[in-house]
Structure 1
Amino acid sequence: MISIILAAGQGTRMRPLSYVIPKILLPVRGKPVLDYLLNNIKDLNVDKTYIIASEHIEQIQNYIDKTNLDNVSVVNGLGWETGGDLSIGLEIINKLDDTIVMNGDIVTDINLKSVYEDHIKKKSYVTIGIFRLEDKNEIKRFGQISISDDGMIKNFAEKSDKVFSSSMLVNSGFYIFDKKIIENRSKYLIPRKFKLEQDLFPELAKENKLYGSLCKLSYWWDVGTMSSYMKAERFFINNYDIIPP
């Protein structure tokens, strides 16, 4: 098993801070986002983690070297959105194995071991870690999901203006890609500029190849914008909370 961190965005919403430091190395209570992401996979048998980045590559590599992260490497991306950079990374890495895919600007306590166990049971192409929101106003800013009783995702709508499901389930930004879809990437993951959330996941949902694993989270923060990053810093000390994109 390998893991891939999608961190090739230009960080425009975090400027001017992102001019000097990549989002994946932004400190949250003194610890880089990368460390939180690596902690999310510590209970899984991950052979290698690949960070797909398009900027500050030398800076990221220096951090990897200084902290002796021997099983972490940087792969050059093009900033082709989540789908495009994942597809490029898979071609460069060229490994046919189950793959954990993580958005590089999320800080959470998600249990990916539980998500992977659900993935093995369902034998799906892709399993998404999902969680429940209570605020109908905030849910519109997430990828909304409706599932069947067995966990199959029936609908996936990325940041829809409408609340289309009473389940209030949303995308966590953490995924398990089965080696079946990696082997079949010439159909689903052709290198081009596209988004997983808008292009691939709705297609897989129509083909009944997309499942959701319901997670209980104490906190989930998208630190990809300056406002949410500052909120995370302020709230982390005394509160657990979900801070929307």
Structure 2
Amino acid sequence: MAKAMILAAGQGTRVRPLTKQTPKPMVPILGQPVLEYIIEHLARHGIKEIMINVAFNHWKIENYFGDGHRWGVQIGYAYEGVREHGEILPRPVGSAGGMRRIQDFSGFFDETTLVLCGDAIIDLDIGAALAEHHAKQAMASVVALEVPEDQVQNYGIVVADPDGRITSFQ
């Protein structure tokens, strides 16, 4: 099967005041944190080992999700910051930096690992994505969503060749 890493270390400055005291993945939608929808989706697809990269108010995420047993998964936490006076002070290192730190200390990425943003609800068919990844014997795969042309400036463009290999990001 596969593992998952959820990026949840950001401060959510673009959606303040909702995130003034709350990590963006903990903002509720219909009474449930966004991050809970993601964990439930992963569990439905058989992803049982999850690492969550945390920083800003990390304890709110940890207190809510704990070790993950309530969802039938195992959750671990990686901290993006420094410890001062017993508290984690956020020191962003970016998505790749957080992933590198986890790999350096744990070997977490030694098997197929999904990396997801902790602030976006998805309905991705994880089984199909993993099947294509394995069929193409890819080292890494990027799942992208087509957006209307008038919204491209908000997201960017993934340029791929006819076989689906990424040639550039714009």
Fold shared by both chains (TM-score > 0.5): yes
TM-score bracket relative to the smaller structure: 0.7 to 0.9
Asked whether the 8 Å contact 1:146–1:154 carries over to 2, the reply is yes
| 1:46-87 deviations in Å (ceiling 9; x for gaps) | 231011011212111110139734511221113212111221
In the alignment, structure 1 residue 122 sits paired with structure 2 residue 125: no
CA distance in 2, matches of 1:29, 1:150: 40
**For the aligned residues, what is the CA RMSD?**
2.0
In the alignment, structure 1 residue 105 sits paired with structure 2 residue 119: yes
Length, aligned pairs only = 156
Please give the secondary structure, in 1, of the residue aligned with 2:56: coil
* Aligned residue number for residue 97 of structure 2: 84
Asked whether the 8 Å contact 1:5–1:102 carries over to 2, the reply is yes
CA distance in 2, matches of 1:66, 1:117: 28
CA distance in 2, matches of 1:30, 1:41: 19
**Displacement after TM superposition at 1:120 (Å):** 0.2
After TM superposition, list the pairs within 5 Å mapping 1:1-245 onto structure 2.
1-65=2-66, 68-69=70-71, 71-78=74-81, 79-95=92-108, 96-133=110-147, 135-157=148-170
**Displacement after TM superposition at 1:108 (Å):** 2.2
| 1:130-180 deviations in Å (ceiling 9; x for gaps) | 2222x22201211311222221112222xxxxxxxxxxxxxxxxxxxxxxx
* Aligned residue number for residue 202 of structure 1: none
CA distance in 2, matches of 1:76, 1:86: 11
CA distance in 1, matches of 2:103, 2:120: 21
Identity %: 24
Paired AA for residue 85 in structure 1? G
Mind listing any 5+ residue stretches in structure 1 that lack a counterpart? 158-245
What TM-score results when the alignment is normalised by the length of structure 1? Answer: 0.58
Please give the secondary structure, in 2, of the residue aligned with 1:62: helix
Mind listing any 5+ residue stretches in structure 2 that lack a counterpart? 82-91
**Displacement after TM superposition at 1:90 (Å):** 2.3
Paired AA for residue 35 in structure 2? L
What TM-score results when the alignment is normalised by the length of structure 2? Answer: 0.81
